[in-house]
């Protein structure tokens, strides 16, 4: 399975420009799965809810339809973060999109900082979708901090976790090694680069360093900290179906759920 991540710096509010950048980067990129950053069509720092509502789109909106064409050009599927409008509600979401359209949508469960003032918290749990016969789960940015996120997806059968991110804290890239290892899954964490300071005194410096990690915790590919990049790898996703650590230890079956306080 050929996989890729598109690390770039979306321009705030310039939806068509951001979509063009995605199309150009993916034009000669044959891939079964491409992961894009969080809120990759709009940019990140909304000044207020009015601005968010103006840029948000439904899951079947024109941006996602256009990304379906990108998926078709790549010959596979892609995961893209976007601001999802449903009636007068807006979710920080990511869509799994194929040539035929939307396969599924995940809504961010763990909202970060000012997101709590803008977005509704996710209300659909952690679903697992299938793309090309491969079970794929989705996390968005701050979800990484909560072990339950990746564990829920692993328990749901995900072999690959697509992590669409706008990371500003310095910890995630290293923590992904543990998340992949403790669940024996592949993680594709696609982060953005650049900075946004659309509100005085509130500057976001995005850390780049998009990272792919295998079920054994080994780093498969890394992106640069401060430049656009297309990061690619070839993986065998079925490796994530093997949850054994030793011949007598299994990361799912060995859990002592009778002893946990959840």
CATH of the domain at 55: 3.60.110.10
Query: Is 255 within a domain?
Result: no
Three-class SS of 41-57: CCCCCCCCHHHHHHHCE
Query: Is 84 within a domain?
Result: yes
- pLDDT tens readout for residues 32-56: 999 999 999 999 999 999 999 999 9
The overall pTM is greater than 0.95: yes
Q: Which of 140, 76, 74, 139 is nearest to 103 (CA)?
A: 76
Please identify which of the residues 26, 40, 74, 141 carries the catalytic annotation. Answer: 141
Residue 169 pLDDT > 80: yes
The answer to whether the CB of 156 falls within 8 A of the CB of 127 is yes
Residue 81 pLDDT > 80: yes
The answer to whether the CB of 107 falls within 8 A of the CB of 96 is no
- Alpha carbon distances (Å) from 67 to 44, 58, 82: 19, 13, 11
Query: Is 152 within a domain?
Result: yes
pLDDT at 256: 96
Helix (H, G, I), strand (E, B) or coil at 66: helix
Cα dihedral 153, 137, 171, 190 in deg (nearest 10): 170
Residue 244 pLDDT > 80: yes
pLDDT (average), residues 176-205: 98
Query: Is 153 within a domain?
Result: yes
Look at the alpha carbons of 102, 107, 108, 111 in this order and tell me if their dihedral is positive or negative: positive
Please identify which of the residues 84, 108, 115, 190 carries the catalytic annotation. Answer: 108
pLDDT (average), residues 99-105: 96
pLDDT at 105: 98
Sequence-ordered list of residues with C-beta below 8 angstroms from that of 45, at least 6 positions apart, any chain: 12, 114, 196, 197, 198, 199, 202, 204
Rg, Å, the chain Cα set: 17
Domain span at residue 112 reads 2-250
Helix (H, G, I), strand (E, B) or coil at 234: strand
CA pair distance 207, 223, nearest whole angstrom: 10
State yes or no: is 24 an active-site residue. no
The neighbour count for residue 41, using CB atoms within 10 Å, is: 27
Query: Is 201 within a domain?
Result: yes
pLDDT category, 261, cuts 50, 70, 90? confident
Instruction: State how many domains the chain has.
Output: 1
Helix (H, G, I), strand (E, B) or coil at 26: helix
pLDDT (average), residues 193-206: 97
pLDDT at 163: 98
| Burial class of residue 259, CB neighbours in 10 A (0-12, 13-18, 19+) | exposed
Q: Which of 74, 107, 114, 115 is nearest to 91 (CA)?
A: 107
pLDDT (average), residues 221-226: 97
State yes or no: is 54 an active-site residue. no
pLDDT category, 166, cuts 50, 70, 90? very high
CA pair distance 55, 90, nearest whole angstrom: 10
pLDDT (average), residues 130-135: 96
Q: What is the mean pLDDT of the chain?
A: 97
Q: Does 20 or 28 have the greater pLDDT score? A: 20
CA pair distance 25, 4, nearest whole angstrom: 11
Query: Is 151 within a domain?
Result: yes
pLDDT at 213: 98
pLDDT (average), residues 130-137: 96
State yes or no: is 23 an active-site residue. no
Query: Is 214 within a domain?
Result: yes
pLDDT (average), residues 2-6: 98
Residue 262 pLDDT > 80: no
Query: Is 115 within a domain?
Result: yes
């Amino acid at each position: 399975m050929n996989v890729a991540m598109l690390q770039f710096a979306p321009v705030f509010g310039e939806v068509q420009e951001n979509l063009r950048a995605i199309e150009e980067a993916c034009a000669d990129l044959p891939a079964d799965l491409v992961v894009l950053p969080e809120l990759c069509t709009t940019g990140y720092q909304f000044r207020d809810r009015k601005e968010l509502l103006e840029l948000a789109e439904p899951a079947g909106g024109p941006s996602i339809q256009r990304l379906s064409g990108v998926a078709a050009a790549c010959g596979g599927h892609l995961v893209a973060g976007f601001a999802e409008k449903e009636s007068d509600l807006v979710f920080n979401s990511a869509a799994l999109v194929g040539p035929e359209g939307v396969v599924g949508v995940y809504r961010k469960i763990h909202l970060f900082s000012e997101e709590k003032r803008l977005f509704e918290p996710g209300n659909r749990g952690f679903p697992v979708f299938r793309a090309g016969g491969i079970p794929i789960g989705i996390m968005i940015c701050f979800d990484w901090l909560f072990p339950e996120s990746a564990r829920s997806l692993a328990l749901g059968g995900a072999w690959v976790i697509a992590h669409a991110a706008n990371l500003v804290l310095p910890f995630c890239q290293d923590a992904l090694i543990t998340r992949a290892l403790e669940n024996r899954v592949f993680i594709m964490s696609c982060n953005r680069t650049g900075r946004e300071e659309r509100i005085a005194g509130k500057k976001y410096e995005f850390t780049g360093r998009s990272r792919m990690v295998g079920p054994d915790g080994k780093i498969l590919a890394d992106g640069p900290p401060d430049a656009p990049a297309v990061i690619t790898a070839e993986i065998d996703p079925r490796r994530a179906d093997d949850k054994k650590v030793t011949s007598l230890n299994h990361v799912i079956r060995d859990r002592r759920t009778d002893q946990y306080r959840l």
